[in-house]
Amino acid sequence: MPTGESCVLCVEQARAEKEAIVALTAKANDVSEDTVGSLPHVCILHLRQLSASVDNANSMQKLLAREAAMLGRLAEDMRRYATKRDAIRSNLLDEEETHADERAMKALAGLRHVNPMARGTP
C-alpha cells in the first residue's frame, strides 16, 4: 500500500495545504479588528499549523479568539442537540443543532479522512 509520502494524491494534498497555510498566514499577519471576520475558519489540525506560522502576536490572538468563539457556539449547539434529542422535544431541533455533530468533526478532525497517519502527520 502507498504511504503518505508515496501516494501522488497525498503528496499533492500536502503541497496544496502548505500553499494555503502560507497564503492564510500572510492575511492573518495583517488582520485588524475589522477584517478578522473575513478570515476563514480552519480545523484544529490546520489551526496548529497556522498558529506556528503567524508572526504577529496581536493577529494570532484575534484569530484564536475567533476560533474559540466558533468552537464555543458549536459546543452549545451540540449540548442543545443532545438535550432535545434525548427528550421528547426532538421535533424542536433546528438546522444548526441537527448538523452540530458533523460540524464538530469537521472542526476537530478536518473535512477529509480522519486518519492523520495517511497524511504523514503524527
Asked whether residue 122 is assigned to any structural domain, the reply reads no
Q: What is the pTM of this model?
A: 0.61
- Number of separate domains in the chain: 1
Asked whether residue 3 is assigned to any structural domain, the reply reads no
Query: Which one has a higher pLDDT value, 6 or 91?
Result: 6
pLDDT in tens, 17-42: 899 999 888 888 777 767 777 778 88
pLDDT in tens, 92-120: 667 777 777 777 777 666 655 444 433 44
DSSP H helices, the chain, are 8-29, 44-53, 57-86, 95-98, 100-109
For 100, the grid coordinates are 452540530
Sign for the pseudo-dihedral over CA of 45, 47, 49, 51: negative
User: Residue 81 is part of which domain span?
Assistant: 8-113
Radius of gyration of the chain (CA): 17
Asked whether residue 53 is assigned to any structural domain, the reply reads yes
Asked whether residue 61 is assigned to any structural domain, the reply reads yes
Asked whether residue 84 is assigned to any structural domain, the reply reads yes
pLDDT in tens, 52-72: 888 888 888 888 888 898 889
**How many angstroms separate the CA atoms of 58 and 107, rounded?**
23
Asked whether residue 100 is assigned to any structural domain, the reply reads yes
Asked whether residue 16 is assigned to any structural domain, the reply reads yes
